[in-house]
Structure 1
Amino acid sequence: MSTIRCLRTYRLPDRPSLIWLELETSDGLVGLGETFRGAVSVETCLHDELAPWLVGRDSRHIEGISRHLLTPYVGYNGSGVEVRSASVIDIALWDLAGQRQGVPIHEALGGAARDSVPVYNTCAGYAYNTNGRRRDIGDEDKPQGPYDDQVAFMHDAGELARSLLDEGYKAMKIWPFDIYAPKSGGHLISLPDLEKGLAPFRKIREAVGNRIEVMCELHSLFGGHSALRICQALEDYDVFWVEDPLCKMDDHAALADLRRRTRVPVCGSETLGGLRPFRDLLANDALDVVMLDLAWCGGFSEGRKIAALAQAYNRPLAPHDCTGPVTLMAGLQMALHAPTAIYQEVVRATLATWYRDIVTDLPVIREGMAQPTVAAGLGTRLKDSFKQRPDLIVRESR
């Protein structure tokens, strides 16, 4: 037996979107998990709703626990608090499984499909997403450091592309259209705004030609007409994909219609929870690239099934991370294992700074390729110095 004895969560006031979970078991192991957004609500769900049922369970029964947490009487199809709570538990359970076997999770899942994984740099800043506030860049914004890439892509995307190539990155993701969505609720984009949104893509191609792949993120901010206008305009710039173009990414009919009317590949979606939405999107020919976030979709237990669906439909897989270091390590494990995985997302600003303050190990990237982990489980732990922070909010259930 490997009985779950304790759930322990950690939150930081200066990173209010993030929560970390440790599961302690009777055989002396500690499994680590992480999820993102609504951290206080997830904390409440974990301790008040799930801990009374989970404590005392055999941590080896990962699939049974996953099914219980993800198929309640009122089912969940999106990545709400309950799904994120199930995700953080599942990641920690798979961390425990790898530790018990003495192998990385990608081996526990069945072994690696590749020796290393290409990465792309999401051009965010140092605190992107984690402080609970949206950041839109204007002309007056100044970079907060050498890797404040969100400022860089809005001000000089060509120079940013050169910088990434110099560091070995061969792909990048930007979102210059976001700032034009609020004025119409995303349902209208004017020709002048469209031209301004296209400018970074033009500058990248003028500066480095086809030496770098460029992804466009639309963050589910747009309606069908404006999304189509953007996608068709991007066709001239050979973008690798347009990500989450519509405001409802589980709307397979609308996505399939969009995909039929543009040559730009459609990617989705980090926002979806559980297996069923991906099944419907793929069955209706609505996606070119499958993106999942293990901290949002249900953890490895759901993630490996979504990866199998992508394989069955001959679609590439791309794990998401623009959130936290544990999710990044989890995504890398999935990308190493999943047969159709093509990229792991990284943010060089956070890799170089605060991710290092939280965990003991992060992916090693050489010439744009993330190297496989060798330590058992996730391959990382929360740092002792992190756990000793005086502002850390810790809660336990036994």
Structure 2
Amino acid sequence: MKITAIRTYRVEEFANVLWVHVETDAGVTGLGETFYGAEACEAHIHNTLAVRLLGQNPLNIELLHKEMVSLPNAQASTGVEYRAASAVDIALWDIFGKVAGQPVHMMLGGQSWDRMRIYNTCAGTRYVRTNKIKPVDTWNLAAGGAEAPSPYEDLDAFMTRAGELAEDLLSNGITAMKIWPFDPAAIENKGMFITAEQMKTAIRPFELIRKAVGDRMEIMVEMHSLWNLPVAMDIARALEPYQPRWFEDAIRMNSPQALAEFARSTTTWTCASETLGSRFAYKEYLDRDATHVVMADLCWTGGLTEGRKIAAMADTYHRPFAPHDCIGPVGFAAAIHMSISQPNTLIQESVRAFYRGWYRELVTEVPRIEGGYVYPMEGPGLGTELVPQFFDRSDLSHRLSEAA
């Protein structure tokens, strides 16, 4: 079997998402995805990776993965080179599963879990439907006008009525949620300080959640790498009475020593996250006891090939693994296969505004989520494809590289 063509797809409505098809002479096509800087990732795939991949056996995944991530400037990062390689890698695993007639999680070693607990990242429906990515200002409510309001505008809900949101999530069996009410203050003050009034405002959602549902809801705190170390430590101390589950990206993920200092300052777990690329970056944080939870986004950090190595390495440090998802439907499906297959998976991120909303506009199958759990995908490969009408969109652009 040989790779005969690589196609990439972008649409204006989801300007930061890139989809990839890897085609073979056996008629089997693999689907991959990455996120952010889609046009740059597309250029890297066609200008740099295609010449190395066309004519190769797509089942030699480890060989091709090493070829893609061993290029200059493509090591231990989540930059364009790694994101592009991640999309192709996911597509190669999709091919592997389809050839074998098995779901990808079986190719990764089978099911360690019959189902996986999820948490809800409380984003809104408009996130990703834009070419801007900034905390808060583009994660907000749906645009006004004729557009029908969604029941899943969870960002507005956690900022204005967090207790009601927690009750609603619990009524659907979801017992963990992730929120980021400190972002407005961080943006206003450039992460340098937080006033007493801003601290009270940001803590208010935690007060409302605990008042409404007590300790029945776990709360993950997303800090988006917006704060300096002293202020991040102040925030952690202020939140400890509300017993959050973890602090994620409390500072920029470029100093294991600084994050280790943060981790020592609080009894709450520290999560080092999808902003790290490859197992080599994670090892630096693990070696310094800087993280309790290892999070990776398969669309950024090297695909399924690197993701399983990161999970296995976390296990050697007795740390749980928690796949990230706040991107697109193909990456979400890949994350579910990874979660189900890894014995040290703690919990799977999900965004109900996405999997009950725009994901269904793009792919044929979305993972089944019921009662606060996600269940294994059942079809061969990833178990999902781009819907036929995707290729008829008026805002679709397409690029092709094929063997001579």
Q: What's the TM-score once normalised by structure 1's chain length?
A: 0.96
Deviation at 1:75, TM superposition (A): 4.8
Residues 241-276 of structure 1 deviation map (CA, whole Å, 9 limit, x = unaligned): 1111102x1311001111011111111111111110
Q: Is residue 309 of structure 2 the alignment partner of residue 310 of structure 1?
A: no
Q: Is residue 283 of structure 2 the alignment partner of residue 284 of structure 1?
A: no
Deviation at 1:194, TM superposition (A): 1.1
Aligned residues of 1:126 and 1:350 also touching (Cα < 8 A): yes
RMSD: 1.5
Aligned to 2:394: 390
Return structure 1 stretches of 4+ with deviation > 6 angstroms: 140-143
AA paired with 2:347? Y
Aligned to 2:267: 263
SS in 2 for 1:221: coil
CA distance in 1, matches of 2:92, 2:355: 25
Taking a change above 3 Å as real, the CA distance of residues 284 and 11 of structure 1, as seen in their structure-2 partners, is same
Aligned residues of 2:73 and 2:81 also touching (Cα < 8 A): no
Q: Is residue 334 of structure 2 the alignment partner of residue 335 of structure 1?
A: no
Deviation at 1:322, TM superposition (A): 0.5
Residues 191-233 of structure 1 deviation map (CA, whole Å, 9 limit, x = unaligned): 2111111110110000011111111100111110111111111
Aligned to 2:191: 186
Aligned to 2:126: 127
Aligned to 2:221: 216
Deviation at 1:350, TM superposition (A): 1.2
Deviation at 1:76, TM superposition (A): 2.4
Aligned residues of 1:137 and 1:150 also touching (Cα < 8 A): no
1:145 is matched with which residue: 147, 150, 154? 150
SS in 1 for 2:311: helix
AA paired with 2:284? D
CA distance in 1, matches of 2:175, 2:231: 29
CA distance in 2, matches of 1:222, 1:141: 25
Taking a change above 3 Å as real, the CA distance of residues 42 and 243 of structure 1, as seen in their structure-2 partners, is same
Aligned to 1:70: 69
AA paired with 1:277? A
Residues 29-68 of structure 1 deviation map (CA, whole Å, 9 limit, x = unaligned): 0100000000010111111111122111110111011111
SS in 1 for 2:50: helix
Deviation at 1:74, TM superposition (A): 4.0
- Structure 1, unmatched stretches of 5+, are none
Q: Is residue 248 of structure 2 the alignment partner of residue 232 of structure 1?
A: no
Aligned to 1:22: 21
Taking a change above 3 Å as real, the CA distance of residues 75 and 10 of structure 1, as seen in their structure-2 partners, is closer
Deviation at 1:27, TM superposition (A): 0.9
Q: What's the TM-score once normalised by structure 2's chain length?
A: 0.95
CA distance in 1, matches of 2:142, 2:382: 36
Aligned residues of 1:137 and 1:154 also touching (Cα < 8 A): no
SS in 1 for 2:34: strand
Q: What percent of counterpart residues are identical? A: 43
SS in 2 for 1:11: strand
Deviation at 1:188, TM superposition (A): 1.1
CA distance in 2, matches of 1:75, 1:382: 28
Q: Is residue 185 of structure 2 the alignment partner of residue 160 of structure 1?
A: no
- Structure 2, unmatched stretches of 5+, are 144-148
CA distance in 2, matches of 1:395, 1:16: 15
Deviation at 1:129, TM superposition (A): 3.8
Residues 283-310 of structure 1 deviation map (CA, whole Å, 9 limit, x = unaligned): 1110010000000000011101000011
Residues 319-349 of structure 1 deviation map (CA, whole Å, 9 limit, x = unaligned): 0111100010000000001111011111111
